[in-house]
Structure formats: structure tokens, C-alpha cells
Amino acid sequence: MKNILVLCTGNSCRSQMAEGYLRHYAGDNAKIYSAGIETHGVNPKAIQVMAEDGIDISRHTSNNVDEYTGVPFDYMITVCDNANENCPYLPGNFKRFHHNFPDPAKATGSPDEVMDEFRRVRDMIKVYSKDFVEAHLDQ
């Protein structure tokens, strides 16, 4: 079983959605963790848009990357440039991946426009997560 860490700035939206989709697609082939270089709590809009797609992240917690220094990761995925550039040192011999997804928490406009941005980012993360599992775990 592989250990995968998804890292973001605040472990609030993007990394939480990626954790949900990676768990869904990886099944028993991986243990998925998500963390932030800070913790901001799980964003309720992220929980809502994931539930719309049948993925329950309502019990996820916002965790700091320092909580996982003892976990032997096989892969680390940073999902924002800030986390990629400011990630603290993590021991271990793991493969590192990076994809900068837009931050839906910074969306502006009407409530419907903000939710549309959460859905757009969710869908991008869904495709990335499915592709990642197919490329790295379904072997």
C-alpha cells in the first residue's frame, strides 16, 4: 500500500478535495493524507461541492504537515504554488508532484458564481486525481 500526501497552503479546499478523490479512486491501494503548511479548517463550500459529486469529506480535518513527519510517504502532491515553494523539509525518499489549482476560496461574485468556481476547481481536481491513480497506482 502506498502513502500519499496532498499538500496545500491551509488544508481547507484544494487538498481536501484531492484527498477525497484520491481515496475514492485509489481504494485499498493507497492511504491518503492531506495537510497544509498552515491550517484553516475545512471549507464548508468544499464539503458541499464534493457532496454534490457523491464524495463525503465532512469528517475531514485540517492538519498541519508537521503532524506527518513520521509517515513514510511514497508520493507528495502539492496543489498550489505557495505550498510547493514553502513546503518544510520532509524526511524520506518520495516522489514529488506539483499542480497549481486555482484557489476557489478566493472567488468573488454572487453566491452562485462563487459556487460555480468551487465546482470548476473540483472538476479539475477530480480529473487530476483519477489520472494520478491510473498512472501511479493501477500498475
Q: Would you name the residues annotated as active-site residues?
A: 8, 80, 87
Grid coordinates belonging to 22: 484520491
DSSP letter, residue 100 = -
The answer to whether 121 touches 14, Cβ cutoff 8 Å, is yes
Categorise residue 111: left if φ over 0, alpha if ψ from -120 to 50, beta otherwise.
alpha
CB-side exposure of 21: number of CA atoms within 13 Å? 26
Give the H/E segment covering residue 119: helix 111-136
Q: Report the alpha-carbon distance of residue 93 to residue 73 in Å, rounded.
A: 8
